[in-house]
Structure 1
Amino acid sequence: MKANNFIWTDLSTFDLKVSKEFYSKIFGWGYQQVDTDYHYAYKSKKEVSGLYLMPETFVNMGMPSFWMPYIQVTSVAATVSKAQAMGGKVELTESTGDFGSIALIRDPSGAGFTVYDGNQLNGRTLDEENTMVWNELYVSDEGLVLEFYTHLFDWTIEETENKRFLVYNSQGQNITAIQQVDNEIKGKHEYWSVFFKVADINATIAKALEFGGKLIYQDNHSALLADSFDAMFQITEK
């Protein structure tokens, strides 16, 4: 794995049993319990994501259920220091032996992401079905975040059209994008979205609706869904 790339995602949920059943139905995942509250989701024998019971601290803050992207870094401590110096907010930090360290950071717009400096997580793929294949940041003001991410991760950002910005890592690979979107379209929150590849968007939407999910919007290439606890995620055939 290379530093400053997206490598993992996990779901913070109010009910592990219900969420595990929902995603098993739409993605065919199996699960393995790692500790009391955390489970790995598997596609065959590959770990593709995590699910955990939302901590009481988050519940008391009124946080919704959410999918969180992880970015691998060389040093969580150094990344946290740099993020704070550029106006980011650190929600939590945690270190666990050989697993490595994590930190949940909010950028100056308020969008959250997790950084990780270990080598145990590797769930994003280029094009495997029922795995995370893409991540995208939706913000109402791109001016708040472009410089932040450029300096924090040594990313190169290229503007295309309609306030869409392609993001390249230090090897010149397009790994993500930033899209400025009006609140009327994206809602009031700024957020990183997680995309899972599926074989058939319409069939996946139908399954999600059958098992308590919601369709937020759909276009020619992707759809934004919410699960039974309103955690949003996107599906794509590309």
Structure 2
Amino acid sequence: MMAVGDFVWCDLSTLRPETTRPFYRDLFGWDYAVNQLPDGSDYAVAESRAGEAAGIFEMPRKFQEMKLPSFWMGYIEVGDADAAVASARENGGKVELGPVPFQDDARIALIRDPLGAGFTVIENSGLPVRSDNAPEGSMIWNALYVSDAARVISFYEHLFGWRFKPSSGAGETYSHYQILNSNGRHVADLVQAPEAIRGSFEFWGIHFSVADRDRAKATVEAKGGAVLYEDGDAVLVQDPDGAAFFVAVPKAGANCEDDSASKSLFRYWKPAAALAVLWGAFMLDQSWVWGLIFLAWAIPALRTGETHLIEPVRKRETPVLFWSITITWIILSAAVLMYGL
């Protein structure tokens, strides 16, 4: 199911990638695979323990000429990038770029809301929804920091179908809202804060997972960055090129209503049911079930761009191997269902 209105990716537009890439390697333990974008420029994909975590690339000349500082950018899935761009313009936003091709079959557009906070919409990303409780070095949360919530709420309601639920101080100088997607899931926060707290910019903040907040702060400062301020459980920091981001220790049980064993089993009922079906097929000698299993492996791979054979294989990194494995699942599924083993 497409993750429309959910955060799926983030990247850093930096003036000095040769400086920032080592900084984040030291902070998060990232490794990099350097790919090329459709325009021929380099795009370094960082990997954490959870897999692909973020992108780092040199800021395009257009933005350098605008004297923009280095910045982190969140990506939000949409079903139609052209429609998103049209909606943004109709509701007071500004389109800085796109829609343009990104990687594989994806298309992106860089948009600013009516107060100037920037984000990217991505169509056909094939990326999983951001996890709120991922290992160190992964994006775990997104929050919008603005001076006037009333000026942007309608914009995002029209663009993504989001709903804004006041959680504290609505209408006051400092206000906090939960952002709910069309399914009612809490996907981000909106914080209205004065300049003394927010700084001079209106921005979407990217939150990255760390195991130890104090150690992360010490690493940031030791490697040429700066600690700016603490916002609850998160710490706003800057890399050596001036790009700001948050580090935070994931909350236990994030995105889970109950961590009891019975709830965990219910949460994973699909693999539990599949395991039971496999044992039943084995005991009853029903080989056709394997055809359905092969098909069940192929369909998610086509949707997400990632399959698994001993270890994860991603279409973006090794397209030949990815398609070889996925097509194998499809052929085996057809052969078993039609002719049996």
Q: Same fold (TM over 0.5)?
A: yes
1:118 alignment partner, one of 102, 116, 124: 124
Structure 1 pair 108/62, CA: closer, same or farther in 2 (3 Å)?
same
Conservation of the 8 A alpha-carbon contact between 1:38 and 1:52: yes
Q: CA deviation at 1:124?
A: 2.5
Q: CA deviation at 1:56?
A: 1.1
Residue in 1 that maps onto 2:14: 13
2:143 alignment partner, one of 107, 129, 136: 136
CA distance in 2, matches of 1:109, 1:222: 24
Note the alpha carbon deviations across 1:211-232, whole angstroms, 9 max, x for none: 0010001255110000001100
Conservation of the 8 A alpha-carbon contact between 1:95 and 1:101: yes
CA distance in 1, matches of 2:203, 2:73: 9
1:227 alignment partner, one of 239, 264, 267: 239
TM-score, L = length of structure 1: 0.96
Conservation of the 8 A alpha-carbon contact between 1:48 and 1:122: no
SS of structure 2 residue aligned to 1:31 = strand
Residue in 2 that maps onto 1:101: 107
SS of structure 2 residue aligned to 1:160 = strand
Residue 51 (str. 1) matches residue 56 (str. 2): yes
The runs of 4+ residues in structure 1 deviating greater than 4 Å are none
Residue in 2 that maps onto 1:187: 199
Amino acid at match of 2:83: A
Residue in 2 that maps onto 1:205: 217
Unaligned 5+ runs, structure 1:
none
Residue in 2 that maps onto 1:90: 95
Unaligned 5+ runs, structure 2:
170-174, 251-341
Residue in 1 that maps onto 2:156: 149
Q: CA deviation at 1:97?
A: 7.3
Structure 1 pair 185/72, CA: closer, same or farther in 2 (3 Å)?
same
Amino acid at match of 2:25: S
Amino acid at match of 2:161: D
- Give the fraction of aligned pairs with identical amino acids, expressed as a percent: 38
Residue 41 (str. 1) matches residue 75 (str. 2): no
Moved more, 213-222 or 82-91: 213-222
Amino acid at match of 1:105: I
Note the alpha carbon deviations across 1:64-96, whole angstroms, 9 max, x for none: 000000000000000100110001100000125
Q: CA deviation at 1:123?
A: 7.1
Bigger strand fraction: 1
Note the alpha carbon deviations across 1:119-161, whole angstroms, 9 max, x for none: 2444732211220010000000111101111111001111111
Note the alpha carbon deviations across 1:154-212, whole angstroms, 9 max, x for none: 01111111311101111111000101000121111100000001111000000110000
Conservation of the 8 A alpha-carbon contact between 2:50 and 2:138: no
Conservation of the 8 A alpha-carbon contact between 1:102 and 1:117: yes
Query: Taking CA–CA contacts closer than 8 Å with sequence separation of 6 or more, which of the two structures ends up with the larger relative contact order?
Result: 1
CA distance in 2, matches of 1:61, 1:166: 33
Conservation of the 8 A alpha-carbon contact between 2:50 and 2:134: no
SS of structure 2 residue aligned to 1:99 = coil
CA distance in 2, matches of 1:213, 1:230: 8
Conservation of the 8 A alpha-carbon contact between 1:123 and 1:132: no
SS of structure 1 residue aligned to 2:168 = coil
Bigger helix fraction: 2
C-alpha RMSD of matched pairs (Å)? 1.4
> How many residues are aligned here?
238
